[in-house]
Amino acid sequence: MKVSIVIASAPDRDAEVLNSLKNVDYDKKDYEAIVVRGLNPSENRNNGIKKAKGKIIGFIDDDALLDKNILKNAERFFENNRDIDIIGGPQLTPKTDGWFARVSGYALESYFGTSKMSKRYKVGKLDLNADENSLTSANCFARRSVFKKIDGFNVKLYPGEDPEFFARAKKNGFRIAYVPNVVIYHRRRATLPKFMEQFFKYVLFYTWC
């Protein structure tokens, strides 16, 4: 098994990403999808890691739409960059999103809207020394060896569990890269209240930092 994809989901949610996964250009025998449901996202991911058989373990949000080359591009990057341990790429706004959702997407892409984290939401340049500002657990992949040295995600944190994980990985000597062709599409908040809720979470993130 080359790639294990861990999908953390709430008990009452459908893992829509599974439909998108069917269209990915990658041999079906070389990857597995592990859906773990529960109320704690970190605990879900950690339980998925325990079940994973792949040399590469990926984390993708349950409502993501996948670029058809995402697994191929992730595998190729790891093969060509043996010194990189964790990678992630952008989560772009789907072209099918409604007008307010697209406005939300523009805000996320702008430095004014999300500061250093804006790179998460648009196609940027390859960065072989990335950090928690560039990556999220909505779209990231790690070598299995990472989880042999450090624990997974902090079950006591939400939100902020993924930046804490990336920061802890770097402190333990693992290298992180932002890879622009490892792409998912993520539907944006379609209403103002939902959009404001998301920005409140960013405030919590900066407080954690």
Structural domain for 74, as ranges = 3-208
Residue 125 structure tokens: 């340049």
**pTM for this one?**
0.85
Integer Cα distance of 19 and 188 in angstroms: 19
For the segment 71-119, what is each residue's pLDDT rounded down to a tens digit? 999 999 999 999 999 999 998 877 765 555 565 655 565 565 556 666 7
All residues at 6 or more sequence positions from 29 whose CB lies less than 8 Å from its CB, including other chains: none
The count of domains in the chain is 1
> According to the model, what pLDDT value does residue 14 have?
85
The pLDDT value recorded for residue 101 is: 58
Residue 23, domain CATH: 3.90.550.10
- Which helix (H) or strand (E) segment is 183 a member of? none
**Which residue is it, tokens 């999300």?**
114
What angle, rounded to 10 degrees, do the helices at 192-208 and 99-109 form?
A: 20
In this predicted structure, what is the pLDDT of residue 208?
Answer: 47
pLDDT digits (tens, 9 = 90+) for 123-169: 889 999 999 888 999 999 999 999 999 989 999 988 788 999 999 99
At 175, list the tokens.
Answer: 């290298």
